[in-house]
Structure 1
């Protein structure tokens, strides 16, 4: 038999694996159960559908799933420089853009995350073509899917009929191997193949919150303000009691609440039910909502619980929300898609976080300006962030001319940059020899004669000066200055 492009062998059909829920039943009996006998008949059982009626649970689940669903799924490829960049593939891109025939990629991801947050497990069935390439993906109902483990440790999944997913409506259930299911599980507390929903931890808080809301609704609808008893001074018959009760509810209940009551025959009214102030319903309601937010790791102000932060830093708030609440869910989804689609090692899926971690305009412009000025990003890359077209010459990062590399500065420091440079010796120009000028041998005697004459004249002048000084001393004449 061939189902979803997979050849199901007779051995697989006849396999009788054991349910992975085991003896403790995993998380399901801990949530879907009756807190007291008859709770199911009164619609008060702890089922996921019941707890989703509480506003804090609904707000957290829808907020998380919508924020992840709005992120574009990109197929990326690693290049020779170990950089991941967006790419297209005829085998993988179509199923990421359109997972199936009735859901967009946003609806598909939201359905995936909602299933994980409310049931702890997301089961995605893969549909293949004749080549074995995944062409469609379907999120299954967790309540109609069971994890099975065979004696040899192999994992199977038992699927009930699902017409949207193409599972035929047969007499029995279909069992498929784990290779045909993408299983994204959350908080495997009881079994490695069975996830636990956050509802497991906030079920009682959600039930208490619903009880407070129901009590408040009954409080204002009933209106026999306040509820109490009529006390007679003596014994009265059942007929009289019924008559007084009916008259009281008719005249002072519902829309007649707050009307003036006149009691006679010694009757006395005693209030029993606490009012909203005495019961501190507002504080109790806030507490239950805070518990739900803490379990889902959602900042309280994002679902209307508590006050918003006073400082205006959108990026910091988004980073905190992403790191504490969304990051684990996003990376788990990406990894499940990589393995489920059997992507090659140089390919992977990435959710575009620009739609989530969006800064305010002033901060974004300053960040991009610093990145371009520091040579980290090219001008065209910065322009793309703010949805502007590229410009000529903007594909290259730029730095100022006076900037030097660290290697050049290290070389300068090694050569003592503070030492004063030694002045260079002046260049001596030797005139070219004149072929017509006399040689050294021809001019040597004349030069020697000129040198002797000069020496003789100098010595004669010195002698004359000495004689003049001596004569002046003899005559008592003082030496002139």
Structure 2
């Protein structure tokens, strides 16, 4: 591999501090929480909350299913362009991932860790021949005294790295989220969603324990008479053994005036459903995912009439930024010439709504700015004879033509009556006419 021969000979660059990462030892949802033992869940634990998993999976899956075109500027339009040295590596990025799996891994790394590091493997002509999404937790950005950026990569046999190496920024595609502390360290939305995700996990764990106890809350056995410590321990042990866990709900017989009083709040008292709903909404808000996309919209706002507007809003608010950033990162990493580049085909977002597509085609064809074969190509249909030209109805006139007509109005009735009458041709005497 071309990057393996590169070595840093100057003074070693300085590692960039990774402020704000959930991988830090101390994870505090608020100041002083660590001392009180109130930390937020890790990445793996937060993924156990269905809202976090649904948002991350939805965004990564929707972006990865979109095709990536290589286009070239022709005048004012961009047209598909055949460039195998750019398109082949993206179609087959590495031996164990196809394009969809590669793009999904790219987006998952960005969504969960705030940073995506893609290692570019080049040949002797500096053409990219393979790409690998690296583990963001093991890559260390470095900055030299001159300001040049480098990346320290650990040994990773799956990615072809037999030993730890340091490579310049030109060999790494670094896509990152917002950078509130350092321009080389991105932050994941999961930072903001950590508290809500942790609360959702706690609610689900408590509910599991609650319903595992036959939906009966904990309580106190009290006696009107004083009892010794040994007797209290024995009564507690016998009660938990005979009436706890799977035995909850059995009939208990107690004497000596002992009474059972529940002390734990029920699910209704604690408003767990409302709290869990808020946690889901807060996670979706951090990821900019509409609730209907993760099956959490109780109002049923998604209908056949507004699906087009909802998908456009979903693209604008959630998907547009990571999609366009990925396009720019690919252009820079592949060092594409001016006037060429990668474009994600966002038309795939409406692939499941044929009614909206057909209605848009009809308006474009009727408006005369789209040819029939262009609409057929968008639906993967073969062209037809005469379909390469846009059509427009005959009664439509250019404004310029109408203005010229108004400059020379038609003659009035009096002028028409005074006009000379055309002479009839002379009669032929030979045939009597």
- TM-score normalised by L of structure 1: 0.81
Cα 1:331–1:114 shift into 2, 3 Å: same
Cα 1:427–1:7 shift into 2, 3 Å: farther
Q: 2:101 aligns with which of 85, 107, 122?
A: 107
Equivalent residues of 2:3, 2:171 under 8 A apart: no
Q: Look up the match of 2:49.
A: 54
Q: Does residue 388 of structure 1 match 2:381?
A: yes
Equivalent residues of 1:224, 1:258 under 8 A apart: no
Q: Look up the match of 1:16.
A: 12
Deviation at 1:8, TM superposition (A): 1.4
- Larger RCO of the pair (alpha carbons < 8 Å, separation 6+): 2
- TM-score normalised by L of structure 2: 0.90
Matched positions, count: 418
Within 5 Å, give how 1:189-204 maps onto structure 2: 189-204=180-195
Post-superposition Cα deviations, 1:244-278, rounded to whole Å, max 9, x if no partner, equal: 11211122111221222222112121211111111
Equivalent residues of 2:40, 2:194 under 8 A apart: no
Within 5 Å, give how 1:82-481 maps onto structure 2: 82-168=76-162, 170=163, 173-223=164-214, 225-307=216-298, 308-309=300-301, 311-312=303-304, 313-358=306-351, 360-413=353-406, 415=407, 417=409, 420=412, 422-423=415-416, 425-426=419-420
Deviation at 1:354, TM superposition (A): 1.8
Structure 1 unaligned spans of 5+: 433-481
Structure 2 unaligned spans of 5+: 427-433
Q: 2:62 aligns with which of 55, 62, 67?
A: 67
Cα 1:30–1:57 shift into 2, 3 Å: same
Equivalent residues of 2:139, 2:151 under 8 A apart: yes
Q: What is the root-mean-square deviation in Å for CA atoms of aligned residues?
A: 2.5
Equivalent residues of 1:315, 1:358 under 8 A apart: no
- Counterparts of 1:63 and 1:31 in 2: how far apart (Å)? 29
Cα 1:359–1:428 shift into 2, 3 Å: same
Q: What secondary structure does 1:336 align onto?
A: helix
Post-superposition Cα deviations, 1:63-113, rounded to whole Å, max 9, x if no partner, equal: 10000000111111111x221011211211101111111101000000000
Q: What secondary structure does 1:293 align onto?
A: helix
Q: Look up the match of 1:33.
A: 27
- Counterparts of 1:224 and 1:199 in 2: how far apart (Å)? 32
Deviation at 1:362, TM superposition (A): 3.2
